[in-house]
Structure formats: C-alpha cells, structure tokens
Amino acid sequence: MAITGGIGAGKSAALAAFGRHGAATRSSDEIVHRLLSGDPDVRAALAERFGSKVIGPDGADREAIGRIVFNDPEELEWLDFLTRPLSLQLCWSD
C-alpha cells in the first residue's frame, strides 16, 4: 500500500496513524533525506551537477536543491533519476 497526495495533504499524519496501529511503514521522504545527508556518492553527484552551494556541513542543503529542481523540470527529473533507485533499495532493505 502507498499513501500519495500533494503537499500538506496529511500523508505523514496518515503514515503515523498506521504506525501507531502496528503497521510496518516506510517514509520515502525520510529515506531521501537520509540519502541527501548521509550518502557520499549522492552528495558528490549533487555537487558536480549543482556546485558546492548545495552542500552544507550536514550533507546536502535541501532548500538550495529545492530552489533549483522545483523551478526546472529537467533538473527535477535528474534528481529523481539519481535518488529513486537508491531510495527503493533502502525502502526494501530496512
């Protein structure tokens, strides 16, 4: 099962409710956040693509990346191409 919806639709609240009732849950947002902050290969690819301005002391600067990718569909597609396979792998291995 998957929960989908727009920003502010309540996906996180619904996921938390399922978790409180014992359902096994995974948050793709949390997985991608882990990739952006903790995966050195992802950080290197982001720095190569967007420059060092998107890398902070704790990993990738998600706000800086967001300003780029949410204003350019091609860059968003590139980011999705980078993170989707890794996030799916982490989703099924956790």
Question: What pLDDT score was predicted for residue 87?
Answer: 87
- pLDDT per residue as tens digits for the range 36-87: 888 899 999 999 999 999 998 888 999 999 999 999 999 999 999 999 999 8
- pLDDT per residue as tens digits for the range 6-21: 778 888 899 999 999 9
Neighbour tally for 65: CB within 10 Å? 20
Of 30, 64, 33, nearest in space to 49 by CA? 64
Question: What pLDDT score was predicted for residue 76?
Answer: 94
Domain ranges (residues) in the chain: 25-93
Which class for 41: exposed (0-12), middle (13-18), buried (19 or more C-beta within 10 A)? exposed
Question: What pLDDT score was predicted for residue 11?
Answer: 87
Q: How many helices (H) and strands (E) does the chain have?
A: 5, 2
